[in-house]
Amino acid sequence: MSGRVTLISLLLFLVISFLQDRFTLSAAERVMVATPSRGLFEFPVVVALRKGYFKDEGLEADKIQMQPQIAVKALVAGDVDYLLAWGSALRAAVTGVPIKAVVGMASRPLHVLITRPEIKSAKDLKGKTIGVDSVAGTVDYLSRVAARHFGLEPDKDVKIIVTGESPLRLAAIRAGSIDATPIDVAFAVKAEDEGFKRLLYLGDIIDLPLSGIAVMDKKLQTEREQVKKVVRATLRGTRFMKQNRAETLQMLSDYLRITPSQAAKAYDASINSFADDGIISDKGISLDVQLTKERLKITKEIPLSQLVDWSLLKEIREEKSR
The model's pLDDT over 214-251, given as tens digits with 9 standing for 90+, comes to 999 999 999 999 999 999 999 999 999 999 999 999 99
For residues 219 and 81, is the Cβ–Cβ distance under 8 A?
yes
| Domain boundary pick from 154, 183, 204 | 204
Domain of 181, CATH number, reads: 3.40.190.10
SS (H, E, C) 227-259: HHHHHHHHHHHHHHHHHCHHHHHHHHHHHHCCC
| The pLDDT value given to residue 27 | 65
| Residue 180, H or E segment | strand 180-184
pLDDT tops 60 at residue 254:
yes
> Is position 296 within any domain?
yes
193: containing domain: 111-204
Domain shared by 231 and 280, yes or no? yes
Choose between 1 and 218: higher pLDDT.
218
Q: Which of 17-31, 115-129, 194-208, 247-261 has the lowest mean pLDDT?
A: 17-31
Report the DSSP pairing between strands 82-83 and 29-35: parallel
Q: Rounded mean pLDDT of the chain?
A: 91
Question: Tell me, what's the pLDDT at 20?
Answer: 47
Write down the pLDDT at residue 60.
98
pLDDT band at 136 (very low <50, low <70, confident <90, very high): confident
Residue 227: CB atoms within 10 A of its CB come to 24
> Are residue 104 and residue 116 in the same domain, yes or no?
no
Task: Tell me, yes or no, whether 157 lies in a domain.
Answer: yes
Among 169, 204, 239, where does a domain finish? 204
Both 61 and 190 in one domain: the answer is no
One domain, residues 53 and 96: yes
What pLDDT, on a 0 to 100 scale, did the predictor assign at position 141? 87
Q: What is the 3-state secondary structure (H, E, C) of 76-133?
A: HHCCCCEECCHHHHHHHHHCCCCEEEEEECECCCCEEEEECCCCCCHHHHCCCEEEEC
The pLDDT assigned to 302 comes to 95
Per-residue pLDDT at 26 exceeds 50: no
Residue 46, pLDDT score: 98
Query: Are 215 and 263 part of one and the same domain?
Result: yes
Number of domain units in the chain: 2
How high is the pLDDT of residue 18?
A: 47
Residues 34 and 176 in one domain: no
- Return the biggest CA–CA distance within the chain: 87
Last residue of a domain, one of 189, 204, 219: 204
In percent, the amount of the chain with pLDDT more than 70 equals: 92
Q: How far apart are CA 53 and CA 32, in angstroms?
A: 15
In this structure, is residue 6 part of a structural domain?
A: no
Shared domain check, 213 and 185: no
The Cα–Cα gap between 183 and 52 comes to 29
| Domain identity same for 237 and 99 | yes
pLDDT at position 295, please?
81
Do both 260 and 134 map to the same domain? no
As beta bridge partners, residue 182 has 113
For the cut 70, the answer to whether the pLDDT of residue 5 exceeds it is: no
CA dist 258 to 43, 161, 183, 265, 267, Å?
Answer: 14, 26, 14, 11, 12
Could you tell me if 175 and 313 lie in one domain? no
Within-domain flag for 82: yes
Q: Are residues 102 and 215 in the same domain?
A: yes
CA 255 to chain centre: 14
pLDDT at residue 314 in the model: 95
d(C-alpha 98, C-alpha 89), whole Å? 10
Q: What pTM does this model have? A: 0.82
> What would the pLDDT profile of 92-102 be if each residue is shown by its tens digit?
999 999 999 99
CA atoms within 13 A on the CB side of 101: 32
Is 84 inside any structural domain? yes
The reply to whether 18 falls in a domain is: no
What is the model's pLDDT at position 296? Answer: 85
Based on the domain organization, do 177 and 307 belong to the same domain?
no
Which of the four pLDDT bands, split at 50, 70 and 90, describes residue 24? very low
Lowest mean pLDDT among 22-31, 74-83, 112-121, 291-300: 22-31
Q: Which of 13-17, 39-43, 170-174 has the lowest mean pLDDT?
A: 13-17
Per-residue pLDDT at 40 exceeds 80: yes
pLDDT in tens, 153-201: 999 999 999 999 888 999 999 999 999 999 999 999 999 999 999 999 9
